[in-house]
Structure 1
């Protein structure tokens, strides 16, 4: 099951998986700039419409821990085609939805399909490609994972402005259908299904635990940390997740094998992954917020500013993948963070005269830095694990990323909101003649700057952690030699 498959047409296999991953990731971020329009269309509040993003993330988050079991129980082809069918059914429901409830249901079905794609793809790579080539392959996957959210805001902004929000789904459906046809014809099984036993209690514990943690953090930004809903959600989430973890450690056949954390490199890359994901998600929320709230730019203009950096990031991903195979992870992380730290510092003093082009160049620098970190980070962590823990490592990686994204967004929105209120009070006390519009614009600007200070501290912390990482190049050679001697 775990041996390399010599007769697998790796090019076709990768193409289909990357295409599926691209559409899945595109779909996840496509609706972010459409939320304001959907509030007007369905006459719902901001809190209600936010469920289109929160609900998607919740379903994704609670299903990911189960993916390690699913990848043992079903074949590659069965899982991939099933996930794309969920994506297609959900997309069609969204496209024709007559009301908000049906639209939300469609999004939940889409999320069920999207949850399996990335962990499945990572596991296929671990099975099919030798350790010394995985960096290059992960780099190609990074192109899909990064390029999709890069073009999503601009594409969605254009479609909403000139056509209709329904075309976000109408345009996606035929592409997903084409991927399903390609998978049925060309996708081969690289792993065999086994009669794995499903631990129902662990599934319930992980669903409640991760579900409540994600729900708590995603509401903390809007409702505040003192909200009973937020506090209760986080307490329940932490209790059930702790119970889930204890059960996994005692089980002979765990749903999610936490032995992955016994590996120093995997644990370190997971911690760096949390910090990097927090920064990445927070920047994607904060910069458009500053541009639209403080500077009066449209959603389309905000999306357009993010586009060049994200496209460069996507195209650099295959390059950094090859560099990873040649030099290992540690030097790439250091180079990447030396780009990220100044990029965060560059926006800690935002003003009304901060130019659009300055912010665009700064975002390009940030994205260049992230391209040296994101995919090499995943590769280094998974390469450090023995093959039998690969699927579990992949599931843990994706679970960690989901929770880190929710935490990063919640924390940065909290800092932004609380600091903006504090600055508004200070501005009013210093000059009572300032208009409410000026107060709002200045306070949100200063609040954004303060939030970026916090993100710069996270980047410095990630750099300190990177210095403790052993050089993974030597480890990769050892693992490769070990694999060759076994075969």
Structure 2
């Protein structure tokens, strides 16, 4: 019996949502290559310029869980068109910005639109495609989630070198205009509008929790952990998230139903996604710094050197998606996690101030070959265990943690990178700036290697949802008393 919702153009709907999410996620890292240009043009320092990325992630982390509630108040059509229009306004504001403040405001407005589109995309895809075709579609969606932030430095490097950083926003604006027109014609409503009571306290706790956590992580890249500007928001964020969790578990109609984490494969799949995003966003900020600062490549060449790894991801994601429907997740996730570990070990082994470009290209290809085998199967397998009424809550929870992972990956990578540079200068005070920078990047890749080892361990616990259910039934039967 078919459980999906019948719509006239499911592929077109999925395409509009995925492309809209792709442009938004591309925006997460698109300015990484341009930060030095922005700093020079607007006379701002690195800690200030970094908020162009961190502020984007901050808005996403705050808005995505709230979107789970908005999906019960507004139709799919209203949210998609609204998200695209808001994103368009943000890109126009950023593209026209004559100063840093307006540029940052434009980025935050664009993030608002992306925060609406992301969870809607995931929920709609789960609803309009049958389980038997979900692997292929989720493979494409996984490609959007992994490729967009990874491809940001590559495409923006070419745009910056040939046209200038403003054109990053103008190209995005063109796509948003076209997608808005298509959305008006093709998007239909698939969500169930129940209009539950809006709990202001839940929204406040969620905002303080995720906002405080990401603000602290981002600030930690420039300040010590003992600085009040770090530990105060971190403490406030943790307390707020604990209170948010307790409140959600005791509400009849929670803002985000945290009972999704009672499903073991969803919890494990979300955690694997979290680790994968940590690695992607860490490498997305470290490699441009290394290629431009230590190996002295231009922004365009540095971007192009990352293209083969992204191409592997483009090719492999739909293939893994189609094979997932036949083979299941376990083999892919285990092999992929081991491959990610190998890729990080290569980075740690070869990074120096004189590393040949082919070695970095090869390591990046290996890294993304592994990521393409881990991300989609983990995500799809986790969401497949949820009942239909929890799809919106599951996608909101997963997307929120992805944004936290992105912010954490960026902040921790930069913190370790800075510490690595300081340590290397103490040991080699006469080292060149190129050698110091390479040493900092190498130290940061020890962090991603450790994350990869954790992913390998977790991968061996991946199972199909029906296998988990069968095991649970077997255990129940085994504990039942025998009547003689």
> For this structure pair, what is the TM-score category when the shorter chain's length is used for normalisation?
over 0.9
> Which residue is 2:197 aligned to?
197
1:474 Cα offset (Å) = 4.5
Q: Distance in 2 between matches of 1:47 and 1:449?
A: 21
Q: Unpaired runs of 5+ in structure 1?
A: 429-433, 479-487
TM-score, scaled to structure 2: 0.92
1:475 Cα offset (Å) = 6.1
Matching residue within 424, 449, 454 for 1:456: 449
Change in Cα spacing, 1:258 to 1:7, as seen in structure 2 (3 Å) is closer
> Which residue is 2:434 aligned to?
441
Q: Distance in 2 between matches of 1:348 and 1:192?
A: 49
Change in Cα spacing, 1:278 to 1:385, as seen in structure 2 (3 Å) is same
1:442 Cα offset (Å) = 2.6
| 1:469 lines up with 2:469 in the alignment | no
Q: Compute the RMSD of aligned alpha carbons.
A: 2.0
Q: Distance in 2 between matches of 1:70 and 1:233?
A: 27
> Which residue is 1:403 aligned to?
404
| 1:188 lines up with 2:181 in the alignment | no
| 1:377 lines up with 2:370 in the alignment | no
1:83 Cα offset (Å) = 0.3
1:162 Cα offset (Å) = 2.2
> Which residue is 2:315 aligned to?
315
> Which residue is 1:431 aligned to?
none
SS in 1 for 2:188: coil
> Within 5 A, what are the aligned runs for 1:35-434?
35-349=35-349, 350-428=351-429, 434=430
1:7 Cα offset (Å) = 4.3
Is this contact kept in 2: 1:424–1:439, CA < 8 A?
no
> Which residue is 1:482 aligned to?
none
SS in 1 for 2:256: coil
1:365 Cα offset (Å) = 0.9
Q: Distance in 1 between matches of 2:18 and 2:90?
A: 20
SS in 2 for 1:373: helix
Of the structure 1 ranges 257-266 and 464-473, higher mean CA displacement relative to structure 2 is found in 464-473
- What count of residue pairs does the alignment treat as equivalent? 469
Of the structure 1 ranges 275-284 and 391-400, higher mean CA displacement relative to structure 2 is found in 275-284
Q: Distance in 2 between matches of 1:320 and 1:400?
A: 23
Change in Cα spacing, 1:142 to 1:270, as seen in structure 2 (3 Å) is closer
Q: Distance in 2 between matches of 1:422 and 1:145?
A: 35
Q: Distance in 1 between matches of 2:172 and 2:406?
A: 25
Is this contact kept in 2: 1:150–1:311, CA < 8 A?
no
The superposition leaves residues 227-248 of structure 1 with CA deviations (integer Å, 9 ceiling, x where unpaired) of 2211111111111111111111
1:289 Cα offset (Å) = 2.1
Is this contact kept in 1: 2:158–2:299, CA < 8 A?
no
Of the structure 1 ranges 145-154 and 254-263, higher mean CA displacement relative to structure 2 is found in 145-154
Change in Cα spacing, 1:341 to 1:7, as seen in structure 2 (3 Å) is closer
Q: Distance in 2 between matches of 1:392 and 1:354?
A: 46
TM-score, scaled to structure 1: 0.92
Change in Cα spacing, 1:4 to 1:174, as seen in structure 2 (3 Å) is same
Q: Distance in 2 between matches of 1:144 and 1:364?
A: 17
Is this contact kept in 1: 2:29–2:284, CA < 8 A?
no
Q: Unpaired runs of 5+ in structure 2?
A: 472-484
1:30 Cα offset (Å) = 2.0
The superposition leaves residues 384-416 of structure 1 with CA deviations (integer Å, 9 ceiling, x where unpaired) of 111111111100101111112222222222222
> Which residue is 1:485 aligned to?
none
Is this contact kept in 1: 2:73–2:194, CA < 8 A?
yes
1:3 Cα offset (Å) = 4.9
Q: Distance in 2 between matches of 1:318 and 1:154?
A: 21
1:4 Cα offset (Å) = 2.4
Q: Distance in 2 between matches of 1:372 and 1:167?
A: 33
Q: Distance in 2 between matches of 1:16 and 1:371?
A: 22
Is this contact kept in 2: 1:88–1:110, CA < 8 A?
yes
Q: Distance in 2 between matches of 1:40 and 1:447?
A: 23
Q: Distance in 1 between matches of 2:466 and 2:436?
A: 48
Is this contact kept in 2: 1:383–1:476, CA < 8 A?
no
1:207 Cα offset (Å) = 0.5
